[in-house]
Amino acid sequence: MKQSQTPMGEAFKIAIMIGKSEEGESEEESEDEGLPEGVTNPIIKLAPAEAEYVESMFEIVEKYGKLADNDGNGIWVGYEPPAQNEKKSMGVKCSNCAFWCPKMKGCHIIAAKAEPNGYCRLAAIGEGLKK
């Protein structure tokens, strides 16, 4: 079992934004309230099923470490750099993903050096960010 490479650990489980922070305030009232330590992407609002997907991916990364193609974990990341991301004009890009952390300028779950306009097949794009 790999050691987690994320700085957050169990904190991810506390608040994937579904319109409310831990204290019950709306997103607009408190942008950073309830976000896990290190997550500074308050624009992300997820539907309930997508929030569960995000939480489960954080649990996988906590258990096995950040994911990469052919790393033996069986999950194909399929990262595309900005020049190859044909979906970025639609809003499908790393900077609109729940896994993106602007503070660390990277992704919490993939080992590749992610860029804001890149994309991978594990993306969890927040509501209202896709055109």
Tally helices (H) and strands (E) across the chain: 1, 2
Amino acid identity at 7: P
Helix or strand holding residue 48 (H, E): helix 48-64
Is 83 in contact with 117 (CB distance < 8 Å)? no
Instruction: For 95-108, write each residue's pLDDT tens digit.
Output: 999 999 888 889 99
Residue 47: predicted pLDDT: 83
Residue 77 corresponds to which tokens in the numbers above? Answer: 């990341």
Residue ranges of domains in the chain: 9-107
Phi, psi dihedral angles at 44 (to 5 degrees): -80, 125
Q: What is the pTM of this model?
A: 0.70
Instruction: For 42-99, write each residue's pLDDT tens digit.
Output: 667 888 888 889 889 989 999 999 999 999 988 999 999 999 999 999 999 999 999 9
Nearest CA-CA partner of 110 in 63, 78, 83, 87: 78
